[in-house]
């Protein structure tokens, strides 16, 4: 399994467009991994997670396309994770090589409603909207991958996702967006078994918070430790923190230092993780 994290910022990106705080100015000065676009990822070449406002530019930057995508799953309905109009580019008017099979699209009730509203007046022939995901109910995609949506501590209806790929049996936990995981989510993850890659929401970075809605460094470490104790995360699991905000203050280099003792990698835009 190859996970490419295309974007690693919270909703307003970092540096944020209307902001000259120290963290935004420092990101502009240092550049490199400190320049973060809105969160989203692609698994191998055929499984897209979220489609935020920076997706098209991320693909251009990475030299990638979505030609082979068979599955698109949304974590939740916030505007940094879904922009319904952007899915129009899958339609025949906008591609000379449309998908050979329609792309199966999954999301919670709010996501599916947004998509149905958008495509009530646009052609959606290359998109195959699936019934809304329900917490704790795994779905099997046409490519035999398994998506297990679990409740997140975030906007009502938001999910963290456990994805198992049919092609190699590898499993990914994609934890955007969420504060500390509800007990039932931890139990379901424990029951589902070990993970090859785990991605955590670290919106608050170096700022100490109560870890509700999103997490800071301590929250991520706490969740990673809990999953280690439960055997879900093993020494072979790649643990990655992502979805950072300028309000977290710590720059990429400092985040790397803070997470080093906890064996957690800090994501940057375009990072590729192979498991
Ligand atoms: Zn977000
Ligand atoms: Zn700022
Ligand atoms: Zn969100």
CA 95 – ligand 3 centroid, Å: 30
Q: Does the pLDDT at position 192 exceed 90?
A: yes
**Nearest 5°: phi and psi at 2?**
-120, 120
Q: Which domains does the chain have, with CATH numbers?
A: 2-274 (3.60.15.10)
Closest-approaching ligand to the CA atom of 25 = 2
Contact 149, 108 (CB under 8 A): yes
CA 43 – ligand 2 centroid, Å: 30
Tell if the pTM clears 0.75, that is, is over it.
yes
Q: What is the pLDDT of residues 14-35, one digit of tens each?
A: 999 999 999 999 999 999 999 9
How far, in Å, are 7, 134, 227 from residue 271 at the CA level?
A: 9, 30, 23
CA 82 – ligand 2 centroid, Å: 23
User: From CA 173, how far away is CA 158, in angstroms rounded?
Assistant: 14
pLDDT value of position 28: 98
Residue 123 CB: number of other CB atoms within 10 A? Answer: 12
Kindly report the three-state secondary structure assignment for every residue of 30-92: HCHHHCECECEEEECCCEEECECCCHHHHHHHHCCCCCCCCEEECCCCCCCCECHHHHHHHCH
Which residues surround the ion ligand 3 when the cut-off is CB under 5 Å?
78, 177
Confidence at 185, pLDDT banded by 50, 70, 90: very high
User: Which of 61-75, 113-127, 138-152 has the least mean pLDDT?
Assistant: 113-127
Q: What is the pLDDT of residues 83-141, one digit of tens each?
A: 999 999 999 889 999 988 999 999 999 999 999 999 998 878 899 999 999 999 999 99
């Amino acid at each position: 399994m190859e996970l490419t994290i295309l974007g690693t910022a919270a909703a307003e990106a970092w540096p944020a467009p209307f902001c000259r705080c120290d963290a935004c100015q420092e990101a502009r000065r240092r550049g490199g991994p400190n320049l973060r676009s809105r969160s989203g990822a692609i698994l191998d070449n055929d499984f897209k997670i979220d489609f935020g406002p920076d997706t098209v530019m991320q693909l251009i930057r990475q030299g990638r396309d979505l030609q082979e995508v068979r599955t698109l799953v949304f974590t939740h309905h916030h505007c940094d994770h879904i922009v319904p109009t952007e899915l129009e580019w899958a339609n025949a008017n906008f591609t000379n090589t449309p998908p050979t099979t329609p792309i199966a699209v999954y999301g919670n009730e709010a996501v599916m409603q947004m998509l149905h509203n958008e495509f009530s007046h646009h052609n959606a022939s290359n998109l195959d909207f699936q019934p809304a995901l329900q917490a704790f109910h795994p779905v099997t995609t046409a490519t035999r991958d398994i998506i297990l949506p679990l409740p997140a501590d975030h906007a009502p209806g938001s999910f963290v996702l456990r994805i198992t790929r049919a092609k190699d049996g590898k499993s990914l936990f994609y934890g955007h967006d969420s504060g500390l995981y509800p007990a039932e989510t931890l139990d379901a993850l424990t029951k589902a078994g070990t993970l090859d890659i785990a991605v955590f929401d670290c919106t608050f970075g170096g700022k100490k918070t109560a870890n509700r809605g999103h997490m800071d460094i301590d929250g991520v470490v706490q969740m990673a430790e809990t999953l280690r104790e439960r055997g879900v995360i093993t020494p072979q699991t790649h643990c990655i923190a992502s979805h950072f905000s300028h309000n977290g203050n710590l720059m990429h280099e400092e985040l790397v230092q803070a997470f080093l003792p906890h064996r957690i990698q800090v994501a940057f835009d375009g990072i590729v993780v192979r498991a």
